[in-house]
Every structure is written in structure tokens, then in C-alpha cells.
Chain A
Amino acid sequence: MQTRDLSLEQLQNVVGGEHAREATRQDAVDGVVPSFVARPGSVEEISELMRLASGAGAAVVPRGAGTKMHLGNPPHRAEVIVDMTRMDRVLEHAAADQVLRVQAGVKLDELQEELAASNQMLAIDPPERGATIGGVVAANASGPLRLRYGTIRDLIIGIRVVLSDGTVAKAGGKVVKNVAGYDLSKLFTGSLGTLGVIAEANFRLHPIPEVARTVTVAVEDAGGAAGAARAVARSQIVPSAVELLWDGDRREISVLLESIPGGIGAKVETARFLLRPFGEVREEEGRVLPEMEPAEVELKVNAPPAELSGVIESVTGAAERRGLEVSLRGHAASGVTFAAVSGGGEEDISDLIAELREIRSRRGGSVVLTRAPVGLKRRAEVWGYAGDAFELMRRVKEKFDPPGTMSPGRFVGGI
């Protein structure tokens, strides 16, 4: 579809002169430079923008703080960036009800600070700094705490979205327990801007644990890492996170324990006991978990948690055979392993991905190319979805966004 009749002036008429501009190279989405960036200040403005853009046949890519723009296939087209950062209000924090309603442009870090004043948190801890709530939901970002609290789908209780034709709709509500109507909050979670713009979201909150300690064991090999993770995960100490670090000589499993002052000692004691058979154990105050430095190429391997040692061995082995270097971080008890890959050419890395995907196709799970140069993305395909529901996903996309306005091409199978 060709972009007709879409001018900066029209966008400015919707969002105000200072909130729409020509796009620059910095706004490029995987190499595709858009024409305009518009920053709506209200749901109505988003709706108006969407009508305008889809009416003109322009493709729209919603963006929060832009911390996850590396995720997804290169878009087929991207004419208008809908930048959500102006919509940064907390609409309601009902502390006693432990629920929250926010606009999508609210920054997670700032939100957590605000919630901490009431001893509460949104129990999600993705690694990116500065990410917006809308972006976290759209990208289904998560962190170590997912072991205890689940991912965004488990915390989101309501949503307000704007479709490409300007329709504004909500689903869910602001109560924790609610089965009225379809759960569109989950449908939009992880949909990466391909179904509509997420304007607002509601969440359940959790109390901040009073004390935290981290117990870490240095393991010998992949079997040791898996054994240590398994021992803790199958215990009754309810760890908040069990993390893997596998980087050169540093091979560790770290266990985050949280409790009340009267309860933490026993948890730490048990964790030390369970981890001792696997190597040297150390203990630190607070949360001290391995963090991932952004690399040029990152893979996310999703596998049944019991296959941790197999995942470590297959990733490191396949990399070594191709002369590639990898370092791993992971949510060891949740089945998520991130690999930062360096060295070698695109062909080697794309071969590596093919090999890992072949293993996962037999044993369950998936390999997603979460960060890569555009050339590699085109060669290896980002998502590697191999399931049988693709046709259904395509029908969902068609129903929600018939003209294909929303982030075309970014999602699985080029949706």
C-alpha cells in the first residue's frame, strides 16, 4: 500500500505542533527510516492518529522509550512512529487494593520508585533501564523475578488499546480476579505493536519483601549448574530467582532469597546446604544477580527447565565448533537462557541458530534471535516459531488490523 496524503501538518493538527516532527536516522527501525514521529498526549489523540495513518495507507510502529526496538524482524514499512512517552501518568494507584492503572508511557523504573513509597512493587524486573510499561507489555519483557511472580501476562489485569482504524477498546478491569469477557490483555502481551497501540494497562501489585540475600555457588560444569538449580527449585524455600552465569571461567548459579527478617535466616541456611555439593558457596546481602551486557548478537533459548545442562552444552558446543564465543545468562529454573554471541560471520551464527532450532524442534521450545544486525535477522529469521497455530495467528492479525497498518512484518512469520 502506498502512503498518500500524509503530511507533518496533519499529524501536528492532531497532537500539537511541538509533538510531531520529521523522523531522523535515530528513529530508524532495523534500518527502515520512518517519515514522522508523533507523540500523542491522550487516547483520543492516538485514535485520531491511527485513523489518519491507516486512512493514508501508512504503516505505524508504536514506540515507548525505545529500549526494545532491536526485537523483531525488520519491518516491511514504517512511516509513522507513535511515540508514547508523553502519556506518562499514573492514573490510579489503589495501594490498599494493591492495583495500579497507568498510561503506557510511564517508565517502569520511575514507577517502581513511586510504588516503593507504599512498600509495593510491580513484580517484573526486565534488564533494560528506562523502559516504558507499554513497551514491557508489548515485548513481554521479564527478568529473574519471573520464577516467583510469573511474567507480565500473570500480572496484567486490564488494558486499553487503540486499533488501526481508531477504535478504542478495553478489556479486563481493575480487580485482581475477573473472568468477564475475553482476556485481551494477554493477547496484546508480547504482540510487539502488531495488533494495536497499548494506551493504558492495569496491574496487580505485590508487597516488597523486607529483606533479600543472594547465595551463589560456583559450579564445575553444565551438570553442576543444572543440579544446583534443580536442588533449589525443588526445595520448599520458595526462591525469588535462580540465575545462571556462564562466562569464561565464571560459572555460577545465584539464588535470590527474599523474606521477612525472621524468615530469611532459615532460607539462606537451607540454600547453602542444598548448593554445597555443587561447589564453593558465597553469600551476599541484598540482590546480587548476574547482569547481561548488551552484545551485538543475542539469542534467547526457551527450553523445558530440566534441560538446562543440555542447553548449556549444546549452545557452547555448537559455538565452539564454529569458532564463535558465547557467554550465557539465564533464568535457570524457568527454562530461559540468553546467549551473547561474538566473533565469526553471519553465516556461522545463522548456522548456529539453525542447529539449536533443530534441537528444540525435537525436544520442545524455541530459539529467538533477540538482537542482531539486520543482515543476520534476514538470514536467520528472528522468531523461529515452528508451531501449528501460525495460520490462526495470521487470522487474528487480519481481524484486528485488516489494512496491515501496525508494525507490518515485525512479528512471527512476517505478521
Chain B
Amino acid sequence: MERSRLIRTMESILGPEGVIHEREQLRTYECDGLMNYRVIPDLVVLPESAEQVQKVVRVCHEEGIPFVARGSGTGLSGGALPVEKGILIVLSRMRRILEVDLENERVVVEPGVINLWVTQAVSDEGYFYAPDPSSQLVSSIGGNCSENSGGVHCLKYGFTTNHITGAEVVLPDGEMVHLGGGKAPDEPGYDLLGAFVGSEGTLGIATKITLRVVRQPEAIRTLIAAFEDTEKAGGAVSGIIGSGCVPAGIEMMDSLCLEAVEAAVHPNYPECGALLLVELDGPEAEVESQFEQVKRICEENGSSEIRVARDDEERALFWKGRKAAFAAMGRISNDYYVQDGVIPRTELPEVLKKISDLSSEYGLRVANVFHAGDGNLHPLVLYDGEEQAGRAEELAGEIIRVCLEHGGSLSGEHGIGEDKKKYMPEMFTAEDLDVMQLLRCAFDPHHLCNPGKVFPTPRLCGERPGPFRMHPLQEAGLAEMF
């Protein structure tokens, strides 16, 4: 379809204020939270209802126009990077909380609703929404759903996928389906909701999402413990987990990270080589007893100083430093590159040693901040300007390989998106990736929905994976697959 006609078609669906087509305005949407990649979309549309989303997608389906859904655009893997000649469907105008049903511990929202609003909507009545990515002040539930966002409390409470119980989804052909039981459990049929959450916007667009909210704990106790180095702090983490308690969160920061955080938000952390932040929550008596044990374990592992948050204000200050860690890097470096690798927790000392060796080898500093409880590392590769960017990315790639060598994963919460798809063949075999794409082909046979993301080699859906059978033409040297 000619661009001017497409604009008119979209305007007829969304009204003129729902369509952005001026180049300068389109620029606002050229990247998401990962600014290394930029693509200017052909059009941006801002639907206000599921019906509008459905109509837009139908046009895309009929005309063969690729589209990408975007929430608040805070993603860190380029998952909401627009595609050229494609439409960017921005869901931030769909931000109504549709229903709060605490009798069933559910909240139903539109995808543009901000993560923190969910907790705010139920906190007076003693509930909260557990997945709390550091971006929770701005990131949207739709985006969280796409990425299966984690957060600092997910070791105990689980990830986004454990808290979404239903979704209304516009499929890439414009059909609307309802996945998951919503308020009722164990819906018969395939768990397509489980497959949809975390599919990075490649299987459809969620237009309504049912969330599970959780009763607030009776007691919360938070401490920070200073250690000489990350190895000693890592020992304490293993000790705490091994003791049988499941903390609400365990975070670790190394000295470089602490330096940046101190300069940025002045949390007044103790000076040390590694800092642990440990939070326990639950029934009062249980938490009290386990908290004493945690303190003891930190001491036994050589903690030089332990501070216990005296009140909510001090707890907030402890967390402020941690949550500001990425942003604080600006204080000590012009540019940085974030990784999101995961390792089995026990591999931590060895992996950190290797990261430090790589850092010296490349002559680039690496600051480490991580969700130590679940082994999710966020090494921040610091660099300065364009000429170092390539080397920084290379170093980041080496770090991810170390994670994989130690039995880990490419990503714990940021997603694969555009940024990490090239590493997928290092974690998965060609067969693994082909089988994943069978699911893609069932949802999006024409590859219109966020195409080019997650998988390094998009598979054409007519093909069958499986034992290799050579086509006669190929055998004769007359044709090539793909």
C-alpha cells in the first residue's frame, strides 16, 4: 500500500491524533532503552482500545506490513526496535486498570499500565504486585509481559510469567484470543499463555492482562553487609541459601559499582570491596529468627560491617543505591554496555575471576551488580566513545560466553531482542531453535509480528525441521535452501 494511503487508512481507524508520520516525530521512537540500535519506523500508531489494535493489525496482515509493539520503551535488548517499512504500535495510551478483584487476588489491566501502578492500586488493602524490575516506575505491564521481566524480589516470588494468569491477545492475523484461565486455574488445553509471556512481542499483542497480586508480608527486614571482596560476599550468599531460607532478595555490588552509586545517590554505604543487600519478608516470628541467622552467616563469612535498616526510610535508602546502579555508571564512565547473563549461583567466584581477567585483557573496566540469589549477573562494561564501543561489545560477548560455559543463560530478564540474538546458537542447537520457531509459525506464519528479533535465522514456516533430507534440485547443485 502506498504510504499516503496507509496513513489515511490508519487515521480512519485511530483519528489523526493517533497516527504519527512526520519524520522528526518518528525519530522519538527510533530506539528503546538500548540505544545502540536505531531504526525509524514508517509510521507510529497510538491505539486507545483493543478494537483499534485489532483493526491496525488486520491492515498489516492484509497488506503484509511488519509491525512491532512497544510499551514504555524501556527494554534493554532492543526488543521494541522498530523495523524498516514497518508500523510501530505504541500501547502507552491503553493505560486503564480495568478491574481490581481482591477476592480472587487478581487485577485486570490494559498493557500500557505502569508496573508500579498495580501495587499502588492494591496496597491500601494489603496487597502488592510482586515482579518489580528496576524500571518499575516507568515500564509497562505489556512490556513486562513480553520480556517476562524479573526484578529484585523474584527469587522468592517468581517472575512475571508466574504472575500473569490470563491475557487477551490480538494474533498477527488480527484474530483475538483469550489465553489462560484469568481468575480460574488450570484452564484445559495447551498452556499458550506460558508460551506467550516472554515471547518478546513475536507472537501477538496483549491488549488486556490479568495479574495475580500477593498479600503483603507481615514483616520485612533488610540489611547491608560489607565484605572485603566479592568472593567472601559470594560465600555468604551460598551460606544463606544453603541454610534453607528463601530471602525476598539478595543483591551484590562490587567496589567499582559502589563508587559510582555513592557518587550518584549518596546511600552512604560502608566502604568495601563488595556489598550484600539482603531482605527477608514473611510472618514476623519466622523472619526474626531467620534474620538473626543471616546476620550470623554474614559474620562467619568475614563481613566487616552489618547495618540493619531501622525503618522504611532507611530500607528505601539501601535499595535506592541498588536500583540506581545502572544510571549511576554515568558518574564514572561516559558509556557503558550492560550484560544480563545468568550462571548457577555456585559458579560465581570462578565467573567473577574470569570477568576480572577479561577486563584486564581488554583494558576496559567492568562494574558488577547482580541478583546474587538467582545468579543473574549485570556486568557493566565501561567505555569511552565510539572508538572503544566495538571492543566493549566484544568484551561483553566474551562475558556471556563465560556464563554459557558455566552452564548459564544469555539473559535472565532483559531478553534476547535484537541485541543478543547472534549468541543464541551458542546456547541452543539448530534443532532447538527450529523447534521454537514451530511455535512462531503457529502464531505468526507470515513473520509480520516483531520480525527479526530473538532468532538469528528466521525460519520460513512452510518448511519442516527434522532429519535433513536433500531436495533433488539441491542435490543436483541447482538450488540452495534459504
The interface of chain A, by Cβ under 8 A from chain B, is 51, 94, 96-99, 119, 140, 142, 150-151, 153-154, 161, 163, 165-171, 173-184, 186-187, 189-191, 195, 206-208, 210, 230, 234-238, 259-260, 262-263, 265-267, 300, 302-306, 334-336, 360, 364-366, 368, 383-385, 387-393, 395-400, 402, 411-412
Contact = CB atoms under 8 A, between A and B. Distances in A.
Contacts of B375: 97, 175-177
> Which of B103, B288, B420 has the most C-beta atoms of chain A within 10 angstroms of its own C-beta?
B103
A300 B186 CA distance: 10
Contact of A335 (B150, B185, B342): B185
Interface in B157-201: 158-159, 161-162, 171, 175-179, 181-192, 194-195, 197-199
A167 B434 contact: yes
Most buried by A among B178, B376, B435: B435
Q: How large is the interface on B (under 10, 10 to 19, 20 to 34, 35 or more residues)?
A: 35 or more
A119 B432 CA distance: 34
A389 B177 CA distance: 5
Contacts of A207: 244-246
Nearest to A153: B194
B246 to A, nearest CB: 7
Interface string B232-258: 000000100110111000000000000
Given A178-B411, A389-B189, 4 more contacts: A166-B467, A179-B409, A186-B194, A263-B289
Given A96-B238, A170-B432, A263-B286, A165 B466 contact: yes
Nearest to B179: A389
A165 B464 contact: yes
Nearest to A367: B188
Contact of A184 (B283, B342, B436, B442): B436
Contacts of B155: 176
Given A140-B186, A207-B245, A169 B429 contact: yes
Contacts of B436: 169, 171, 181-182, 184
Contact of A176 (B286, B288, B374, B434): B374
Contacts of B221: none
Contacts of A397: 190
Contacts of B176: 388
Nearest to A187: B195
A260 to B, nearest CB: 6
A392 B192 contact: yes
B429 A304 contact: no
A234 to B, nearest CB: 7
Interface string B139-164: 00000000110100011001101100
A302 B407 CA distance: 38
A163 B466 contact: yes
A364 B150 contact: no
Given A171-B432, A178-B342, A387 B187 contact: yes
Given A96-B241, A388-B177, A400-B438, A412 B183 contact: no
A260 B184 contact: no
Nearest first, the 8 closest Cβ-Cβ pairs linking A and B are A186-B194, A263-B286, A365-B184, A169-B435, A306-B103, A262-B289, A207-B244, A304-B183
A187 B180 CA distance: 12
B476 interface: no
Interface string B464-480: 11110000000000000
B466 A94 contact: no
Contacts of A169: 429, 431-432, 434-436
Contact of B409 (A98, A173, A234, A302): A173
Given A165-B464, A175-B375, A364 B283 contact: no
A205 B49 CA distance: 41
A167 B465 contact: yes
Interface stretch (B31-39, B63-71, B321-329, B343-351): B343-351
Contact of B413 (A177, A191, A391): A177
Nearest to B423: A180
Nearest to A363: B184
Nearest to B177: A389
Nearest to A210: B244
B154 A177 contact: yes
B476 to A, nearest CB: 25
Contacts of B408: 173, 175
Contacts of B181: 302, 364-366
A392 B432 contact: no
Contacts of B482: none
B412 A177 contact: yes
Contacts of B158: 150, 154
Contacts of A237: 218, 283
18 contacts: A96-B242, A154-B162, A165-B465, A169-B435, A176-B374, A180-B424, A182-B436, A183-B197, A184-B436, A187-B195, A208-B244, A238-B215, A259-B285, A260-B289, A262-B289, A266-B283, A336-B185, A393-B192
Given A177-B413, A260-B290, A399-B439, A184 B195 contact: yes
B195 A186 contact: yes
A61 to B, nearest CB: 18
A259 B184 contact: no
B216 interface: yes
B117 interface: no
A1 to B, nearest CB: 17
Nearest to B287: A263
B390 interface: no
Given A173-B408, A183-B195, A392-B443, A302 B187 contact: yes
A116 B269 CA distance: 39
B397 to A, nearest CB: 15
A300 B185 CA distance: 11
Contact of B285 (A190, A265, A368): A265
B195 A182 contact: yes
B190 A396 contact: yes
A236 B218 contact: yes
B344 A174 contact: yes
Contacts of A179: 147-148, 150, 198, 409, 411-416
A97 B424 contact: no
A368 to B, nearest CB: 6
Contacts of B363: none
Contacts of A99: 344
Contact of A186 (B188, B191, B410, B420): B191
A385 to B, nearest CB: 4
B174 to A, nearest CB: 13
Contact of B466 (A140, A167, A303, A383): A167
B410 A180 contact: yes
Contact of B184 (A154, A170, A182, A304): A304
B345 A173 contact: no
B284 interface: yes
Contacts of B179: 389
B191 A153 contact: yes
B282 interface: yes
A305 B148 CA distance: 25
B435 A389 contact: no
A302 B184 CA distance: 6
A187 B189 contact: no
Contact of B161 (A167, A183, A304): A183
Nearest to B412: A177
Contacts of A165: 464-467
Contacts of B189: 383, 385, 387, 389-390, 393, 411-412
A396 B410 CA distance: 26
B439 A184 contact: yes
Contacts of A154: 158, 162
Contacts of A190: 190-191
Nearest to A301: B184
B317 interface: no
B371 interface: yes
A187 B242 contact: no
